[in-house]
Amino acid sequence: MQIQGFSFTSEFWEYAQLTNGGRPVCSSKERSLFLTANVGLYLGNSKIENYQNGRLYLTNLRLIYVPYQPNEALEKKIGLSLNLAYIENVQFQAGFMRSSPKILLILTQISPDLEQETLHKTLNWDCPICFQSNKCDLKVGSRFNVPKCEVCGVSANVDELNKLKVEKQIISRSKTNKGDTNIIPNSVNRTNNAANKLKLHEGRKPNSLKDDLSNEISLSSKPVFCMSVKTDATDRFCFKLSFRDGGARIFYDKLKFALGQAKWLRADSKLQVNAGALRVARNISATDADIQSIPSNVNSKLNFDSTEKRAGIHGLETLTSLRNTEVSTFLNSSLRDLQNLMDKSKDLAKIGDDYRRMLMSSKILDEEVGQAVELLSRSRNSLKLLGNLLNDRESINEANDFYTVESLNLLKQTGGAEAGSSLYVEELSRQLYDFIIEENIIGDKNGLITALDLYCLFNKRKGFYSISPRNFLLAIISLERLNPDLQLIELKLQSLQKIERGTAREIPEKARSLYAICSSTMNAKSISRSVLDVLESVKFEGYSALEFQGMCSLQTNLLLLQSVLNALTKDGVLCVDSTLQGEKYYKNEILHFEAQS
Amino acid sequence: MSFKFPTIYDFPPFFTKQIHSQTLETQKSHWIQLILDYCQYNKIWILSLNGESGDSALDHVDPQDEDDDDDYAEVTKQSIFTNNKIDRSLKSEFIMEIYNEMISKEKAEWVNPKNHKHGIIVYWHTLEEWANIIFEWVSASLTCILTFRLTLQGRATLC
């Protein structure tokens, strides 16, 4: 039986990019706050068929829904996002009988003040006195409320403003006519043309739409929601989130908090709060403000009475002088950094010369060596300091880590139930996978890293919050699910000495295996073959694991190589020669000798 | 002309106890055969714990001492279990294992079962083989009555 389906697109929801681990990609200003799993989406009271099971991430800017995919490694990773600015109100609906608890999202019917929308709503005009480019609201340009120049305070010419307004409207109309008819063309007209918001595509099956999704998804397009029943036009502003694994109440509290925070951030960005406050960092680079390196002494030096906006020529002069001072401060700081860099490079060049002389004369003078070492150590510290100054990206990452850790911690606290703890492990696994990919850990570590090393690196990166070894192990076990190119292997590291029966009773059995994560291309069989090829070419000669590793054909991780050698020895393919210098591995001639005799 | 060791004697892993069971069994049988051949060639009847031959190694052992609290004996350079050419020697624990294997196969016997420090008697012929050899020798060449002592010290002794 074929179910007649309906589909629609909503302008509120957008596709969201996900990381390799299936987590949402957050901007530098975005912080992950909470996560819950097994969430279903509803439009009004109707189920959205293709989004009935997924993870819901809450950040300080967006709600991100990541649909469940049975095979994440193969399927395209893409999620849906809803900007918190669209949410006008939220309501909590407790579960009853078989009905799961839900959160009702009532979306705004007035155009939300998002950055891209303000572009359409604002008008740019140039001051006739100071030629400063100013912005004003389209609604503002009346005779009674004339905008003034932000710099010199001179009022705008109303007639000119009206002309600009008409031109802008014509341009925006022509743009919308060219655009996709399924998507609302102009947000200004949203309230008048509400019917345009929801385009129903009748007669299409949900399954076919699913296929379309996986094949033809681009981030600029809008997600398609499939439904089995037709919804009313009034439901288009009401979305419901159904929490089948519980945790709705906590999510609701978090969402309320995030909405409050998002509201404040929007107001702050629109200068509705702290109006007139000087924003040094934003003036430098509005696009990447929080990545800018601002020396700590800048704020203290810029001790001007500039928090008030000053109008007129005097204000213009003050602001110009303020900007000049600001720019000169930055220039000075940059020049100082350059000077430091130059000094350090001179030091390094000097060290290079010293070493060259030492090597050429082949006479090691203790005094010279001492000086060079001292110079080297000083340079190293200075370079480290300089590196820290220049590399502000690290501090951004640390801040992001803090928030991801916070959300993880919250998951752990709330995850008393089994479902919660599995979600915690799953999310930890995703974070771990992102960490491995971002830091290129597998590539840097010769294709293999032990779980212990990864555990230390991960905990170090996460700072004060430590993951327990057990949870970490559970997380790395599920890494393979996210990427089949990674595999968890167990390296047998037990000593080659046999424990006698008598002594075995006295010594408790200890786990002598070691977990490691490596690329799936790192195959024990291929390593074994290479080892045997090497040994075939020589007779009565053996090599240690390190010597094997040094050979071109066997440039692999030492631990894995050692593990393979031990396995081959246990299988009787190789035999071992143990001395105080270490163990050397030979082809098993002992068995062959029996055949000769 | 000195005894010619087999090529396996110059193979370094031959002096390390192997962990693979089949390899270990083969290794022990090689060692037993080597000991028997070596003792036969050099007419060695008693082998000490450290693999030295004859009475010299047993000089320091008190024959009346019946305590057997330690089977450890340092392997010297003169021992059969040391290959100076490749600088390898067997560990005393493994030597004991080989000796026990020999005894279980009736190729050797403790001189004093209560004190292993006296070493082992190596049967490079089993007792039955010896009996047959003596019988054949007596039947073929004995024309007069000889005491046991004279048989051992005679010119035409068996060994």
Beta-carbon contacts of A233 under 8 Å, excluding residues fewer than 6 positions away, are A194, A195, A198
Residue B157 and residue B85 share a domain: no
- Facing A590 at nearest CB: one of B10, B26, B33: B26
Q: Provide the number of CB pairs (under 8 Å) joining chain A to chain B.
A: 65
Question: Does B64 reside within a domain?
Answer: yes
Residue B92 and residue B140 share a domain: no
- pLDDT score, position A317: 83
Question: Does B149 reside within a domain?
Answer: yes
Run of H or E including B151: helix B148-153
Per-residue pLDDT band for A290 (boundaries 50, 70, 90) equals: very low
User: What phi and psi values does residue A243 have, to the nearest 5 degrees?
Assistant: -100, 100
Residues of A in contact with B14 (CB under 8 A): 590
Asked which of A46-55, A479-488, A549-558, B60-69 is least confident by mean pLDDT, the reply is B60-69
The nearest CA of chain B is from the CA of A569 a distance in Å of 7
Reported ipTM: 0.83
Q: Which domain holds residue B23?
A: 7-124
Cβ of A589 and B6 within 8 Å?
no
Per-residue pLDDT reduced to its tens digit, A202-227: 333 444 434 444 444 555 677 888 87
Cβ of B23 and A589 within 8 Å?
no
Cβ of A593 and B88 within 8 Å?
no
Question: Does B63 reside within a domain?
Answer: yes
Residue B140 and residue B80 share a domain: no
- Facing B13 at nearest CB: one of A498, A571, A577: A577
pLDDT at A519 > cutoff 80: no
Residues of B in contact with A492 (CB under 8 A): none
pLDDT at A308 > cutoff 70: no
Cβ of A572 and B88 within 8 Å?
no
Residue B66 and residue B54 share a domain: yes
A542 touches chain B (CB under 8 A): yes
Per-residue pLDDT band for A300 (boundaries 50, 70, 90) equals: very low
Q: Within 10 A of B153 (CB to CB), how many other CB atoms are there? A: 10
Residues of B in contact with A497 (CB under 8 A): 19
Per-residue pLDDT band for A274 (boundaries 50, 70, 90) equals: low
- Facing B22 at nearest CB: one of A572, A579, A586: A572
Residue B105 and residue B33 share a domain: yes
Average pLDDT along chain A: 71
Cβ-contact A235, A194 below 8 angstroms: no
What's the one-letter identity of residue B42?
A: N
In chain A, DSSP finds a helix count (H) and a strand count (E) of: 20, 19
| Interface probe with B: pick from A590, A593, A594, most Cβ of B within 10 Å | A590
Cβ of B19 and A593 within 8 Å?
no
Query: Residue B15's domain is classified under what CATH number?
Result: 1.10.10.570
Question: Does B1 reside within a domain?
Answer: no
Residue B63 and residue B117 share a domain: yes
Per-residue pLDDT band for A354 (boundaries 50, 70, 90) equals: confident
| Interface probe with B: pick from A495, A500, A569, A577, most Cβ of B within 10 Å | A577
- pLDDT score, position A213: 42
Cβ of A597 and B33 within 8 Å?
yes
Give the span between the Cα atoms of B13 and A589, in whole angstroms: 9
Q: Which of A284, A208, A282, A215 is nearest to A75 (CA)?
A: A215
Residues in B lying within 8 Å of A, measured between beta carbons: 6-8, 10-20, 22-23, 26-27, 29-30, 33, 88
Residue B10's closest chain A neighbor by CA? A540
Question: Does B136 reside within a domain?
Answer: yes
Give the span between the Cα atoms of B128 and B109, in whole angstroms: 14
Question: Does B77 reside within a domain?
Answer: yes
- pLDDT score, position A101: 87
Number of domains in chain B: 2
Residues of B in contact with A570 (CB under 8 A): 19-20
Residue B135 and residue B115 share a domain: no
Residue B135 and residue B94 share a domain: no
Residue B149 and residue B97 share a domain: no
- pLDDT score, position A138: 62
Cβ of A591 and B29 within 8 Å?
no
- What is the Cβ-side half-sphere exposure of residue B60, based on CA atoms within 13 angstroms? 6
Residue B145 and residue B87 share a domain: no
Cα A550 off chain centre by:
37
Give the span between the Cα atoms of B84 and B90, in whole angstroms: 12
Residue B33 and residue B111 share a domain: yes
pLDDT above 70 covers a percentage of chain A that reads 61
Cβ of A577 and B29 within 8 Å?
no
Residue B142 and residue B120 share a domain: no
Question: Does B36 reside within a domain?
Answer: yes
A267 touches chain B (CB under 8 A): no
Question: Does B2 reside within a domain?
Answer: no
Higher per-residue confidence, A149 vs A311: A149
Per-residue pLDDT band for A299 (boundaries 50, 70, 90) equals: very low
Angle in degrees, CA A339, A345, A346, rounded to 5: 90
